[in-house]
Amino acid sequence: MTLSTMLSTMSEGMLRTCGIFVLTLVGSLPLGMIVALLRKSRFTIVRVLIGVYISVIRGTPLMLQLLVWYFGPYYLFGWSIRGWRFPSLILGFILNYAAYFAEIYRGGIESMPVGQYEAAEVLGYTKGQTFMRIILPQVIKRILPSVTNEVITLVKDTSLAFTLAYQEVFSLAKQISASQTSFTPFIIAGVFYFIANYVVAFAMARIEKALDYYR
């Protein structure tokens, strides 16, 4: 198999990897904020449940979580899992990364001085206006480096989709390498991950620079 043929064969896997990445970000970033706010709820039961969720997610491997989400409906309820592979994959990724983003958000929110809230109250802002107009913009700027690290990790974690036999770029690289007894597919996959991470790091650096109002 020639290099061009390998690239053509793996191109679909690259698109699927990008799909996992984009859908996970779109789902986990806003969900993480919701989880972070619920973690600070006035209701004890809500705080406890959210705390348990975050502890379980952070305390178990993502690979295990993907297997649970995929096979769980069948073993627990006897439901058919036909057509459930991709939805369970995205659900597992979103819930996993939402927990990590939630802790990043929470750290950023709790790092804000109390004086910010008091000043906003004096100026007549409601709690919602205070958070959206004053707190959140500053939190985003503070947490960007941590979010960047998680996003870069996500690019690499997409390779765990092979756990559910989903044909992303890493799975295809393994298959082609085994059938052709060649190391080249792994090199191609490695280059793809490196370029993807470089693009992510560059984009996040540009965003961070745009928000650097101290310049």
- pLDDT tens digit sequence for 143-171: 999 999 999 999 999 999 988 888 889 88
Domains of the chain, first to last = 3-210 (1.10.3720.10)
Are 143 and 105 a contacting pair, CB within 8 Å? yes
Q: What is the pTM of this model?
A: 0.90
Q: Assign 54 a pLDDT band (cuts: 50, 70, 90).
A: very high
Q: Which residue has the tokens 């793809």?
A: 192
Arithmetic mean of pLDDT over the chain: 90
Question: What is the torsion angle, in degrees rounded to the nearest 10, for the CA atoms of residue 6, residue 11, residue 12 and residue 16?
Answer: 130
pLDDT at 161: 92
User: In the predicted model, is pLDDT for residue 116 greater than 60?
Assistant: yes
Residues 179-195, buried b or exposed e (16+ Cβ, 10 A)? Answer: eeeeebbeebbeebbee
User: In the predicted model, is pLDDT for residue 214 greater than 70?
Assistant: no
The arithmetic mean of pLDDT across residues 172-184, rounded, is 87
Q: Assign 208 a pLDDT band (cuts: 50, 70, 90).
A: confident
